[in-house]
A and B are shown apart, each in its own frame.
Chain A
Amino acid sequence: MTTARVGESPPEVRGVKRALGSHSGRQLGTLAGLLTLCLVLWAATPHFLTVSNLLNVLEQTALNAVVAVGMTFVIISGGIDLSVGSVLALAGICLALALEAGVPAPAAIAISLVVGGACGLVNGLLITLGRLPPFIATLGMMSVARGLALMLAEGRPISGFGEGFRAIATERVLTIPAPVVITIVIYAVAHFVLTRTVFGRTTYAIGGNEEAARLSGVQVRFHKTAVYGVAGLTSAAAAVVLTARLNSAQPTAGTMYELDAIAATVIGGSSLLGGEGTVTGTLIGALIMGVLRNGLNLLNVSSFLQQVVIGVVIIGAVLVDMTLKRRR
C-alpha cells in the first residue's frame, strides 16, 4: 500500500544504504553467519586460524567461487545452468590438448575460454530461440559436454604441462596464491558489471519481469543468450585454474560442481525466481561452504557425515532467508 507513510530515512542514511546496495541487510546476515562459523572453528580447533590453513581454504574455495559467478548471473536472470561442471571438464580437456600440441599457454587459455563461452551461448540460443526451459537445455548440455570431454580425452587424464602454464596455480602475489588473486579479479569485474553497467541492469530487469523488460525495449533474447555465455566463460576460467593446479586435465573433472555453485549462489541470497542476488553474496556463500568443508576435515568428521552437514546448511540458510522475506 502507500509507502509515503513508511518513515522516510534521512538522506545520509539513504546514501549509505545505496552504497551498500539494496540487499545489504541480507548480506550482512550471511556475513555474520560466515564469521560465526569461523569463530566456532577457531574455538574448536587450533589448526583453523593459521595463515597456511586460511590460504588453503581460499584456494579450495576459488574454483567453486569462480563457477558460481556465472551461475549468479544466470540465476539473477531467472534461469539455471546445470551444465557448468561438464563445460568445465570440456574446456579443461581442450586446454590440455592445445598445450600438448605445443600451442603457447596464452593461446591455449584463449581456446579454452572460447570453448566454454561457446557452450554457454549454445545453451542461451536453445533457451531463447529454441524456447526450451533452461533446466532442460542445460541438462542436455551437461551430458553433451561431458561426453565430448570423454571422447576428446579418450577417457583418460591428460597430464604434464610446462612451468610457465603451471605458474597460474603455483605463483604467489604477496604470499597470496595466484588462483585467489584471479578469483578476486573476476569478482571485482563481475560486481562492476552487475551494479554499474547496462548489461547488469538488464540482467536484473529480465529476471525480475521478462515481459515488462521486453515491452520496455530491452533486447531480451540477446541478453539472455549472453548471460549463459558468461556462465560458460567462468566455467572455462575455473578449468584453467584447476588444470594448472593439478598439472592435469581430467574428463571427469567438475562433476557435481553445478550443485555447489547453485548452493553458493542461493546461500548468498540470490532468488531462484530471478531478479535478486549479488556476487558479493555469492562469494560469502562460497566461503561458507569452503570453510565448512575445511573445518569438518580438521575436526575429523567423516566424509559421509560432511555431506549431511552441508546439505543441512544449504536448506537451513534458504529456510531462514525465506522466513525473513515473508516477515517483511
Chain B
Amino acid sequence: MRESLERVWEMVRKEFLQIFREPRLRRMIFVAPIIQLVVFGYAVSTDIRQTSTFVVDHDRTSASRELMDAFVASGYFRVVGRSDRPADLVSALDHGDAIVGVEIPRGFATALRDGSGAHVQILLDGTNSNTATVAKGYAERIVQSYAAQVSPVPVQAPIDLRERAWYNPDLASRNYNVPAVVGAIILLVCLLLTSLAIVREREIGTLEQLMVSPLTPGELIAGKTIPFAIIGLVDLAVVTTVALVWFEVPFEGSVFLLVVASILFLLSGLGVGLFISTISNTQQEAFMSSFLIFQPTMLLSGFMFPVSSMPDLFQWLTLLNPLRHYLEIVRGIFLKGAGLADLWSQYLALLVMGSVILWFASTRFRKRIG
C-alpha cells in the first residue's frame, strides 16, 4: 500500500515537472482562466446601459423635452440623434445607428395638460431580441413614471406593484456569469489537459515505458489524473478570489461545500478526459474531440442560456450534464447561500455521474493499455 502511494506520488511529481516545462501548457493553465474571467466579467453582459436612441420630437415643448430628459437620466438610454422627420428615424434604425426610436407626436403637451390621454411611440430594433425586450420594458416604465409625475390630476394606479429581486438586487449579470467561469475552467483543464497529457505520451512512445514499469494501471490512472485535479482546484481558488476581490461578487455560502462540489465535479471531468485519451491516437484528435465535447456541454448547461427556456426534451438531456448540476451548486452557494438541504440532489447527481464516468473510462483505459 505504502509503495503504491509512493509510486503514484513519483508519477504525480513527474507529471508536474513535465507540465511546467512545457511553455504551451503553462500558458494554457494560467492564461485561460484570466482570459475567461476578463471576457465573462466584462464582455459578456446582458445588462442594458446607454442604448443608442433616436428622437423625433414633433411637439417641441418643455413637456416633450422633459420626457426625453427622463430617458437620458435613467442611464439606460443615450440620445444619438434628433430630427423632426420620421424618415430619419427609419434610416437610423436601418443603419443600426440607433436601437431605440422615440417619436413624440404633435399635441403631446396639450393632451397631457387637459387629461385627454397623450401618446408616445416607441420603436425598437428587434434584431437583438434580448436588448429589445429589456429596453422596451425600461422605456415603458420611464414613460409611466414620468406620466405619474406630471399629470395635473393625481394619478394613482389601482394596483401598487412592488418588485423585489432577491440574491442579486442590482440585477448585475456579472454576478451570475463570473462564478460560473469556475465550471468552464475546470472542465477545460480536465478534458483538454488530461487527454493531451496521456495522448502525448502515446505519441512519443513513453506510455509503453510506463507500462513496463512496476506501476499498476490503476496507479497510472491516478498519477495521470491527480495533477490535473490539483490544477483544477488551484484554478477554483484563483477564480473565486478574483470574483470576490476584483468583481465584488457576493459569496453567501460555505467554502467547504464549494470545494466538495468541485471535487465531485472533477470526477466527471477527469473521467471524460481519460475517455477522450482512449479514443484518440494523436494530440490533434484529442484536441478536436475535447472541443466537440466541451462545446455542447457548455451550451446545454445553463452557463449562458437558461435551461428553463429549452424545449422539454433538452431540459431532460441537461440532467445528464454534470456541468449543469455543478453550476447550480456554484451559483447557489455564491449568490443564494444555499446549503446541502437545498442542493443535495445536485451533489448526489455529481457523485453518481462522476463515479460511473470515471469507472467506465478507467475500464476502457485498462483494456486499451493492457
The judgment on whether A and B are partners is no
